Amino acid sequence: MRKTNGNATKRKTRLAPAKEPENTMFFEKEDITLLYNALRSYKPAEEELVRHGIWLEGFAEVLVCGFDEDLEIPY
pLDDT digits 0-9 by tens, 43-52:
999 999 999 9
Domain count, the chain: 1
Report the pLDDT value the prediction gives residue 1, as an integer from 0 to 100. Answer: 46
Q: Which residues span the domain enclosing 54?
A: 26-75
Task: Give me the helices (H) in the chain, please.
Answer: 29-41, 49-61, 67
Comparing 25 with 39, which gets the higher pLDDT?
A: 39
Is 3 within a domain?
Answer: no
Instruction: Give this prediction's pTM.
Output: 0.63
Report the pLDDT value the prediction gives residue 57, as an integer from 0 to 100. Answer: 92
Burial-class residue 59 by CB neighbours within 10 Å (0-12, 13-18, 19+).
buried
What residues are paired with 2 via a beta bridge? 9
Q: What is the DSSP letter of 66?
A: I
Is 21 within a domain?
Answer: no
Q: In the predicted model, what is the mean pLDDT of residues 25-39?
A: 91
Is 5 within a domain?
Answer: no
Is 65 within a domain?
Answer: yes
